[in-house]
């Protein structure tokens, strides 16, 4: 679905939230490689991000055309800062009430409330679309994200121990969280 452009002010900065455009495919691939290298809290290592421009254009297009998926980009004073997204767990009627969500910002744009603003907007959209619950996975030592999700009402509902194994041989658990509307 398309998230129509909206403007917010946060900490004296102008924030634009809107859907991704097809001509931003390369920007989004660069972003994925960068954010994957900035923390140990995302799905993969930067060298595992191998999407082509065509793959990414298709990904953007699918999200924009779909009724139950959204890519929401944030721009801070005109600079791309990160993405927040959801995808329905559909595939069958039994799962259609659930939305899986994700968020990652460049480190430079963390810590001043942007994550909270984006998630609040995303959750409002989900409620309006009729979803009954939002779900996510967070790496157990991602204290900032965990705190943020808790503050928005998400509750822990399970842990997979050693869900992540890093190149240095260390592990981290994944925590599943759910927010029921
Ligand atoms: C996680 C992330 C989305 C949070 O967004 P953000 O804009 O940095 O967070 P915000 O500034 O909106 O708010 C974070 C909250 O955590 C709190 N916080 C900040 N640092 C913290 C820490 N080390 N421990 C606990 N809480 C912390 C803030 O005080 C704020 O709480 P409040 O709203 O009750 O005041 C962002 O940091 C990010 O993209 N990180 C890298 C990728 C990532 O981890 N993605 C999430 C994967 S599940």
pLDDT 10s digits, 43-60: 999 999 999 999 999 999
- Cα separation, 35 vs 145, in Å, equals 15
Q: Which residue has the tokens 């595939």?
A: 91
- Whether residue 65 lies inside any domain: the answer is yes
145 CB near ligand 1 (under 6 Å): yes
We report the CATH number of the domain holding residue 33 as: 3.40.630.30
146 CB near ligand 1 (under 6 Å): no
Task: Name residues whose C-beta falls within 8 Å of residue 28's C-beta, 6 or more positions apart in sequence.
Answer: 20, 56, 60, 83
| pLDDT > 90 fraction of the chain, expressed in percent and rounded | 97
- Cα separation, 59 vs 156, in Å, equals 30
- Whether residue 177 lies inside any domain: the answer is no
37 CB near ligand 1 (under 6 Å): no
pLDDT at 166: 96
Which of 108, 134, 147 maximizes ligand 1 atoms within 8 Å of its Cβ, making it the mutation to test the pocket? 147
**Tokens describing residue 177:** 């969280």
**Tokens describing residue 109:** 């744009």
133 CB near ligand 1 (under 6 Å): no
Q: How many domains does the chain have?
A: 1
Measured CA to CA in angstroms, residue 153 lies from 14, 30, 134 at distances of 27, 32, 10
138 CB near ligand 1 (under 6 Å): yes
pLDDT tens figures, 85-110: 999 987 789 999 999 999 999 999 99
**Structural domain of 29:** 6-131
Atom 14 (ligand 1) nearest CA = 148
Residue 10 forms beta bridges with which residues? 13
Q: What is the pTM of this model?
A: 0.96
- Whether residue 81 lies inside any domain: the answer is yes
């Amino acid at each position: 679905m398309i998230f129509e452009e909206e403007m917010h002010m946060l900490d004296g900065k102008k924030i634009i939230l809107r859907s991704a455009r097809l001509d931003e495919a390369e920007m989004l691939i660069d972003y994925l490689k960068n954010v994957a290298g900035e923390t140990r809290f995302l799905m993969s290592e930067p060298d595992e991000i191998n999407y082509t421009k065509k793959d990414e254009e298709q990904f953007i297009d699918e999200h924009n055309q779909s009724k139950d998926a959204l890519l929401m980009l944030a721009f801070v004073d005109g600079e791309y800062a990160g993405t927040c997204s959801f995808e329905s767990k559909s595939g069958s009627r039994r799962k259609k009430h659930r939305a899986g969500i994700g968020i990652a910002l460049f480190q430079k744009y963390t810590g001043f409330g942007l994550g909270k603003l984006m998630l609040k907007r995303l959750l409002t959209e989900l409620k309006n679309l009729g979803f009954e619950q939002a779900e996510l996975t967070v790496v157990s030592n991602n204290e900032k994200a965990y705190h943020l999700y808790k503050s928005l009402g998400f509750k822990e509902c399970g842990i997979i121990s050693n869900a992540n194994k890093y190149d240095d041989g260390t592990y981290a658990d994944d925590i599943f969280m759910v927010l029921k509307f």
